[in-house]
Amino acid sequence: MGTALTWLNDLAQWLGRWVPRLVLVQPTHRGVLFGPRGGARAVGPGLVLYWPMMYALVEIPVTTQSVQLCAQLLPAETDAAAWIPRCRICAAAVQFKVNDPVLAATRSLNLHAVVDNRAQAAIARHATDSTDEWRERAGRDLREELTPFGVSLERLDFIQNGIGVALKNHSDWSYQDSTNGTRPT
């Protein structure tokens, strides 16, 4: 019975494309209307009327959003005389805001993933420095990297930041280590 009436569903959807849509864009969002010939423009907040046959509407949140970065294990500056290699353990929280919804909608499919990846890369680039200014340099780099996406960095907080020691467990030793004679007893 369901397949016998699918033509009716298809007909209703086709007719629905010719009826204009009235959408309420919330104050915390902006709409981006994609039109014919690849054009895009920002609309809202408020009531937006558009023709679904010619346009597609995407809503972008423009309020402050937050991304929690998982802890990263990064190589740290070590002395040449150090017997055990050190590593930096670093986790951060990133607060960002969309300034240009058209750029955000046209340049990235998943804005949270872009912010997360760019923040982790900026932290990894600068966390190996032995000076304390690496946090400011990572924030400046992240700000510059997010600008082409229409995003501004509100705040970058380092939740965990410390120096650790990288040791190898017995279970981490491979067969190659045992044949080379480097396996612990």
65-82: pLDDT as tens digits: 999 988 777 766 656 566
- Helix boundaries (H) for 17-152: 101-107, 111-126, 134-146
Q: Tell whether the model's pLDDT for residue 164 goes beyond 90.
A: no
Pair (57, 69) in one structural domain: no
| C-beta neighbour count of 56 within 10 angstroms | 11
The answer to whether 96 and 65 have CB atoms below 8 angstroms apart is yes
Domain count, the chain: 2
For 95-108, the pLDDT digits (tens) are 999 999 999 999 99
Let me know if residue 70 belongs to a domain: yes
Pair (78, 153) in one structural domain: yes
Pair (44, 90) in one structural domain: no
CATH code of the domain in which 145 resides: 3.30.479.30
3-state SS class at 31: strand
Output the pLDDT for position 77: 64
d(CA 101, CA 90) in angstroms, rounded, equals: 31
Mean pLDDT taken over the chain: 83
DSSP state of 29: E
pTM: predicted TM-score of the whole model, two decimal places: 0.75
Domain that residue 26 falls in: 18-61
Pair (50, 113) in one structural domain: no
